[in-house]
Amino acid sequence: MYEDFDDFSRRHSQEEANRQRLAKETTPEWSILKGFASEFAGREFAGHKFQWVPDPSSWADFLILNHVAAMFSHNEQNRIVTNCSVRFDRRPPGLGKQYPDDNSGVSPKEWSLLPAIEGEAIAWFVPELGETHSSMELADAIAKELSEYHKRYELHYGHWPAA
């Protein structure tokens, strides 16, 4: 498809403006996403309560449901949040502890979260799902996926008592 220079130049300017906007707004949107996820703390699924565990000593925060967790992690470059992801796995064993084996029996799952511009809002594209969500919708999808992961764990290991 033919594109004249003026269209090419406008497209380039818009792409640059979008890059700058994402660089500026990804860090606050990451905090908004984690804020929505933290609101699940205290809610129940299958007799177990969600817990929100922020970890200021690392680049990760956790939404925990009994023995499984969604780990929110990122990197920072020049005070800008990059490489955002959510990993569904068994919960961390606790300070100074480790699991006797590295294999959990249920494979972990990871979602890459790519910031995107949807209309006037910042949203998250999840390549593993092929979907784009607002922070509120994504927090809900994470809680649902963590609940499904919890069910797979119970199926594999049997039912655990409520934490």
Q: pLDDT digit string (tens) for 111-127?
A: 999 999 999 999 999 99
Check if the beta carbon of residue 71 is closer than 8 Å to that of residue 62. yes
Q: Show the tokens assigned to 161.
A: 């008592």
Q: For residues 93 and 89, give the distance between their C-alpha atoms in angstroms, rounded to a whole number.
A: 11
Q: How confident is the model at residue 162 (pLDDT cuts 50, 70, 90)?
A: very low
Return the ∠ at Cα 25 (arms to 129 and 12), rounded to 5°: 85
Q: For residues 163 and 160, give the distance between their C-alpha atoms in angstroms, rounded to a whole number.
A: 8
Q: For residues 110 and 107, give the distance between their C-alpha atoms in angstroms, rounded to a whole number.
A: 10
Q: For residues 91 and 76, give the distance between their C-alpha atoms in angstroms, rounded to a whole number.
A: 24
Rounded percentage of the chain residues whose pLDDT exceeds 90: 66
In the numeric block, the tokens 């949203």 are attached to 123
Neighbours of 61 (CB within 10 A): 19
Q: Which residues contact 30 (CB under 8 A, 6 or more apart)?
A: 74, 81, 84
User: What does the pLDDT read at residue 118?
Assistant: 93
Mean residue pLDDT of the chain comes to 88
**Higher-confidence position of 100 and 89:** 89
For 12-70, write each residue's pLDDT tens digit.
988 898 889 998 999 999 999 999 999 999 999 999 999 999 977 667 899 999 999 99
Q: How confident is the model at residue 161 (pLDDT cuts 50, 70, 90)?
A: very low
